[in-house]
Structure 1
Amino acid sequence: MNALRVVWKFSKWKDKFLIAVVAISPALIVLHAWVLQSRGLLAKGVWAISALLFFFVCIGVFALIVGIYREAKNAKVVADRIKSALVTPFSRVSALLAAGTTCVTLSLAHASDSSSGENLLPRCGGMFDLCGYEDRNDHGQRIAKTFERASMFSEGLAAVRIDGLFGYIDTAGNVVIRPTFDLAGPFHEGFAEVLVGGQAGVIARNGDVVVQPQFRRAVPAMRGVFVVQTGKYAPIRDPEFESLDSFRTSYWSQRPAGLYRLNHGWVTREAYKFEPFGGDLVWAQKMGSGWARYGLMRSDGRWHVEPAFDDVQPLRNERAIVTINVGEGMNQHRLWGSVDQEGRVVIPLQYDWLSYWQQNYSIVRQNGREGFIGKDGKLLGGRLFDKVQRDDEGKPSTVQIDDIWYGIRPDGEIVEPPPQRAAVHGRDGGRLEVSKATECKGGLFIFAKDGLWGMKYPDGRVLVEPEFSAISCFSQGVAWVPDEKRNAWCAIGPDGRARFKPDCRATVYPASISHHHPEKLDPDPFKSSVKWMRAYLGHAVDQTIPPPLYVGDGVQGQGSFPASCRQVILCGDDR
């Protein structure tokens, strides 16, 4: 240390700067490498190698300086030797190389961070309702609207639909996996689920099929291990919105599933219900043997934590909520708690309810009172309150004591409440508008001639000749027209020509309304939808033609309302 102090004392400021750059370079790279790895980005080894090279550069330069000091007889000699050494091409170039490489490496790291696609959001619209991507921060368009459908980026790739089939693009908008799939899911640890001909398989990032399409579902769950169900894929949404969700967001039917390992095949029998947890563990429940509890299963199919919980949630903020049922009959109720990353119970199962974990806290409820509980199991402020609320970032914000709201600090101190944000109002009501069903987004409009329907551009040029008994507006890059020979609605593209994909479908309606369905006008679903759409378009042209109806399901949807009403939520039961 004395050597370094002497060297530093007799160095010029520019030489001190070069020495400092060399010293901090490895720390910067190692820190950035740690951030990238913690966010699950690729190319981890690049940063580790860069940091190692910088380390050796630092050792070399400092060894040179210390060597000079040892040869020196006095402070003047030290100063002279430092001056002569640091002005040599070797030491200057070494320092500048370290500084330059630091900048380049950090720039590449930033580019890698951007290339993950985390800041890109799909946005759709325009004349043909096509999709592109905009920046999450400045809302600037980054990828042009040229895709029929677009999903969120995952691991630097996003599934998009082109000419009725799905492929993948990178963050520059380049097609890197050509569109050959009926559906395509997000990537997880280098793998993605795809659908071909009603069967699910798995592809790698280079587009190679690593598990042939043969399953009902084949969802990447852990490293090279997939949750699979046999059989044929069963859609759960309207065809225009059907998607292959990730394991964390997938809706799983009550059919059993099994674990399937790449290049090895089945790990478990198809006898479990799986739920996401995190890391190399999944929640698993044995099916077919009465009521069974959930435990944590490893990727090899063995139990990491024996089944002990009646309901479970994924790991979030290093905690996962679990429950058990206690009591019998009318006295049965749930007790809530949480486990850590290893499945150890760290919040005892003794509470009436727990909210999601965020910012290291969950909201806990017991005997009608609420509080903020930390990951260590301690209550913020050491007590429960009448009610509690988080702020917009999920942090503990306010507590209610004797009907009065107060603020609460991170140390649990009760303070004056924070200022209230202005309320955001929704619709202000107003008079109902009549939907002009023949006017489409982007200026296209539907027209009729001799009882048949077609479509025109805003300037009046014909896009689709009037030769169909009905037609829909463009949505996700396609419009739909009836094909009476096939007894189905089939797609046409922006060029006005028939499409092979997406597949033809039995029915088409302009909107899907919660807890309501289009009225039935014919026993045959296809014919009923054609009649419904003809009435829908006809009413837009001639108000004397009664509009078709949306009919409530009688449970949460009551009565009926005309499809001509634009503000559906405000429509009453009038014809």
Structure 2
Amino acid sequence: MKKVFKKHLSLVFTLLFLFSTAFICSSPKVLASNNLNYSITNLNISCTNVYAFEDDLAKFQNNNFYGLIGKDGSIKSPAEFTSISSFKNGYAQVAKGSKFGFVNENGSVVVEPQFEEVSDFSTNGLAAVKVGSKWGVINSSGKIVTEPQFDAVYGFYNGLMRVRKGSSYGFLKSDGSLLSGCNYNNAYDFNDGYAAVQKGSTWGLIDKSGNFTLFNFDEIKSPVLGLIPVKKDKLWGLSDMNGKIIVEPKYTDISYLNNNLIKVSSGDKRGAIDNKGNLILDFNYDSIIPTDDGMCQIVENDHYGVIDSTGKIIAQPQFSWIDTFHEGKAIVCSQGQYGFINTNGELTNESQFDKVYAFKEGMAKVEKGGIYGFINSKGDLVIDPVFEDASDFNEGYAAVKENTESSSVDDSDDSELKKKYIKWGYIDRLGSTFITYDFESASCFNEGYCLAIKDGKCNIIKNPDIKSIPNTVIKNPFKTWNIKFSKAIDGKQTLSNKDDTVLNDIDMTMTDNISVTDSSGEYANVSFTFESPDTIVINPPSNGYTPGETYTITVLSNGKYNIQDMEGNKLKPDVTEMSFQVLDN
């Protein structure tokens, strides 16, 4: 009984949030943000540009060189590198001239820049490095565990890295040794524990122990969900893991789009079938492109449309360009006119703007005549275009650049005058000033911290109104998260007194105030369910979370449409975050 109870807890792990006990009225007409509880510290560090924090470190630039600053305001790596990449699995690539090495999450150099090229470290603690024209592998201490000898490397999948030496392929294990030699004529990456390989003129599957099973086809690809793409007489079909035909070979090409759809080609046209071979999408399309949001873009005569993960057409090919979905909306462009569609394909035109950017935290940046403002998830202009520049919102705040003097400054050719009066500051999601316009440059908030430059010196800004829940690790990439609140949530629609139009509903409230982002800040295409009066469920992306990736759940409460209880009390604090890592099995 005790073991069952522990397992149950791990499956229904909940995040508990508390509502404030005092009623907080938020008006879009206020001129100053309700949250003025922040601190600014001059670090007396010379710099010319600053970047957002990644965990405990932020990159800063001083002329042509880069360094790292910690949340305590100290320099962790001096500005001596010509480039610093984003952190991946605890390490960031750094360069000095044409040579590359690594720093760790403390900012310490763990591998001196010495290699011609490097890959990011994988979850098993190994990275590919190039010496001269050959690739090898090092561990996180910089020790070479596989001598440079390969002409190409392809990354770790299922814990094994495909490599090529001359015209022969093999696989490296996590200890840096070859699985079963480098003696295959061709090979695909491992997937679902197997890899398709060619030995001489025959194809088969190898498992993680290197055991080879022959398949009597002209070619095969690595399996996906127990099905193997197989080729016979120049045409592709599907077999099961024993080689039994499931879908007769009749397509000129075949590849998986997601767990539900398989792209198939007939001549120069593409369609889609399901795992049983049923035709889901007719052969009408020049291309079908899977995207990170779980959707697919369909292309016909240079016009773009969208299908969902099941193959249902959301939008017919009619746009000259479509962005990926963010928070249930995708920016579209047709004949130079911008707008956005939702997951039902409903179009909201925003033709009054020169450009519309992706939604983030319920807000999308818009540009008109080189000036920036923001619309909300309904398409309403909620922050007028008055800013010279603007970042996306992050943790409820956006860095914005404003002319603090007069319009004559914009028209002036005097760079010193512009530097004096055109400054960066921060606004909240109501458009109210959070931090006054006092900086030459400013980065986005992340985990309550950001960097900004004043008089050529780096300043660190801290917003204490943020709660961080300890990080956790999960094995199941399709895990659902339950967010449980201390009181019942107001899930009713709020109607306008004038025309009975919906101003707020629980779906919009969840989408605008809850997000899941990966380590690069990209949105995971999750969905939300209002399960009970005090519980919101975060459903995983249709293809699951990416193994080895780290994600952050963020819950906000500083916008117009906040999560609130039945008495109208809003959630406290303004920002709550929890990170989780998906184990790479």
Considering the TM-score relative to the shorter chain, is it more than 0.5? no
More helix by share: 1
Quick check: which has more Rg, 1 or 2? 1
More strand by share: 2
Bucket of the pairwise TM-score, normalised by the shorter protein? 0.3 to 0.5
Greater RCO structure (CA 8 Å; 6+ sep): 2
